[in-house]
Structure 1
């Protein structure tokens, strides 16, 4: 039977298997226990550290932009500083961390609600949220003044709105476009997701009104921000670092005897400086880009031109490097990449002072006078230090989730297709544009969980249908 317009494609569940309490709660008891426990763990994190985690230099550029509210000419667009600006009257980085912990819980709640909407049983939908709720990497990210938690929340919200009904309304499409635009203004890697969702609507023949609503609501905020950026930096763009990042990506394979760049770009060829990860070339003082006068971001357009020329001349080398770095996401033992970065699968115990730098002093004066280096607080710190999260539940689990989601995405009208494609994009795009980083992997995990759960339910339903058909065939007409 065909579903009526606006109905959600559901997967039949087996009735009569739940106890009285589970029926009373509508099947939500497993998730209620999980999210209550996860909320308690986040309270423990707030108690276990005396302030939010502040990273040099990202956290302080975000806070500085929030105070002065103008687009940065370097890496970070101002989407996250807009949120920090709203919280400026409270002058508290701890409040930022608290709000982000709520975002983490909200992300898991949205995943759960979408899965229940698609008729998954309560235990199955709750199971899909556990990596988000209990992976220390997520909790530590939520406790840091970094934009990643906001991106994860906005992308999850966008897909929640779009997938709430089988055939989304024009209003839902517009809300999805707006949420993805906000995600793109938080981290530019999310901007192409608008194109991915647009392709999804076109393939599903969603109708002109929905397509137009998505495009208008998604592009207007981006265009307005680019115009604002142009007023400050003379260039219609969202950031001034895309070329610098892509140039750094090419430094792991670029061979100028093959590329043969023109003289003005040849100054960006590898010059013998070797570092342990592509992203480190952005900061390596001896790298060719950093030897040019005016600073690295003053040569963003030149760097982009060189990088595109290098990729066109050495496409297989580029793909090899992207594939090699992507494989790091699935390692059973998390890999240090770059070597100076430790994978965040534990809660550290100790003290971490801030470096002496004028920008830190300025942000302390203008945003929060209590800004200081973070320290663990006892007895909560030791409790957190004893919390273990096996590496196999990080990299290998992500691989399994993507494999299962990919299987469920095959064929027409598979609800797992869009979240699976989103997860793959969020995993690979930062690596293709710059480098692998464990932080950059995390936004893909909620979408991978959503896709895998939908895929598992769909595959289970098809297996049961095949078994039932076989039994009917054996019984005969």
Structure 2
């Protein structure tokens, strides 16, 4: 009977269901710490959905995205249509709340990819899980996920591209192609991601990944961007991804431009500073009294002229330009967080209570009619907001933490270039590029955190390996010295004695 029972148990244990259960248990044991972090992060996001029953819409961006999603025509203004195409997938459901729910899942996915790539590079489970906390448990990320904005889509795509490229030491043609496609989608979501394609190509060249791999990444990234540029040209008459690059760069120069130094031609001179003062470079785009906005036809009709003026200003005053970029970039390291522009709140350390009003936008009625009739002012709901408002994210984990992460990533890249180099350079680029092209905004800095966290975690591992190697070398040196001292004394005396006996025996 006992033998029969053991046989039955063995049969049950070998059943497919039991094997799957065993694998699941082993998987959970290996990653239980991160599983707990992910569970807490998921619970917080469920609370966000319950505490804020409708998604947040912004005064300009959200309505432009939804309008483009309905008509699928590239905007001639700030935004390429990548995020609008994402919204178009959900148009049949007529629900911005569903979009927010999917974006919350994407936020969890960002943390999962960070953890996976760090474990792939042999980091301990606790270290990889710790690196995901500034993303998974950050209220600023959760509030972005709950808004009809392109930020989370951008972050998800670029982190996915990083994961694909770093998954194996030898990057395959297939992986390079997928990473290129992901970066192209990121560039069509926000144009700031387009230069990342060049950064990834340069990384593969430095890694000596091979010509086929480099070409695969380049072609897979360039084809979608080129196709979009041709589509844009068919609607607006010029090959581009958006119609605002010149306007943005012109606004950047308004904080330092001196036309007595620049000496622009008469046509460009119309865009010189005219005495209008605002508290941030980006505010010049919207300031009614700014020189660009006084020209007939609207600001974006003069995009090419604005670009020409801005480039001339930068060539004439390069140090002033670099100084403004450095000054505005440094805002991200301030503690407590500083509002910039002043009308925009700095990242929240907690979840606020509502209600709020819908922003005044001429597209409101059109978007409600064509995309989601239930779009409403965001408000907070009890009892969920009472629970959620008790959650606190340490203020220290903003500016000072980011500075520390970047410093550790830089140190790790210096001692062992391969693991931390790509995420660190991507983090620095994503931090500086928006400021160089327009201005600093806390929203624009959010994509930096996942890359900085991955770079810092890999940097710690690299520094640890280097220190261990140095420690081993020092220990080996001490051991060799000790052995040499031993052989210099006792063995030498014994050898002299032996040789003496041998010589004596020969003489006899």
Unaligned runs of 5+ in 1: 1-20
Output the CA distance in 2 between the equivalents of 1:355 and 1:104: 25
Q: 1:452 to 1:355 in 2, by over 3 A?
A: closer
C-alpha distance in 2, partners of 1:175/1:414?
21
Could you say which structure has the higher helix fraction? 2
Structure-1-length-normalised TM-score: 0.94
Pairing 1:69-84 to 2, within 5 Å after superposition: 69-84=72-87
Q: Does 1:202 align with 2:197?
A: no
Instruction: Find the residue that maps to 2:418 and give its secondary structure.
Output: coil
* Deviation at residue 358 of structure 1 after TM alignment: 3.6
Query: Which residue of 140, 159, 162 maps to 2:162?
Result: 159
Deviation at 1:392, TM superposition (A): 1.2
Q: CA deviation at 1:24?
A: 6.7
Matches within 5 A, 1:461-476: 461-476=465-480
Are 1:439 and 2:443 an aligned pair?
A: yes
1:429 equivalenced with 2:408 (yes/no): no
Q: Which residue of 2 aligns with 1:376?
A: 380
2:391 matches 1:391: no
Bigger drift between 347-356 and 359-368 goes to 347-356
Q: How does 1:11-410 map to 2 (within 5 A)?
A: 25-345=28-348, 346-410=350-414
Deviations 1:233-279 (A, max 9, x none): 00100000000000000000000000000000000000000000000
- CA distance in 2 between partners of 1:23 and 1:326 (Å): 45
Partner of 1:420: 424
How far did residue 27 of structure 1 move? 2.9
Deviation string for 1:392-451 (max 9, x for gaps)?
A: 101110000000001111156421000000000000000000000000000011000000
Q: Quick one: distance in 2 between partners of 1:67 and 1:352?
A: 26
Q: 5 Å matches for 1:448-467?
A: 448-467=452-471
Q: CA contact under 8 A between 1:408 and 1:414: conserved in structure 2? A: no
Residues 277-329 of structure 1, C-alpha deviations (whole Å, 9 max, x = no match): 00000000000000000000000000000000000000000000000001000
CA contact (8 A) 1:74 1:297 kept: yes
Once structures 1 and 2 are overlaid, which stretch shifts more, 378-387 or 231-240?
378-387
Flag the 1:455–1:263 CA change in 2: closer, same or farther, 3 A. Answer: same
Q: Distance in 1 between matches of 2:25 and 2:445?
A: 35
Q: 1:334 to 1:71 in 2, by over 3 A?
A: same
Larger Rg: 2
TM-score with structure 2 setting the length: 0.88
Structure 1 contact 22–28 (Cα < 8 Å) conserved: no
Determine the C-alpha separation between the residues in 2 that align with 1:363 and 1:296. 23
CA RMSD in angstroms comes to 1.3
Moved over 6 A (4+): 21-24
Count of aligned positions? 457
1:458 Cα deviation (Å)?
1.1
Q: Shift in Å at residue 22 of structure 1?
A: 10
Inter-partner Cα distance in structure 1 for 2:415 and 2:242 = 38
Structure 1 contact 140–344 (Cα < 8 Å) conserved: no
Contact 1:111 1:160 in 2 (8 A): yes
1:273 match: secondary structure? coil
**1:348-394 Cα deviation digits (max 9, x unpaired):** 10111114544101100100110010000011112222222222101
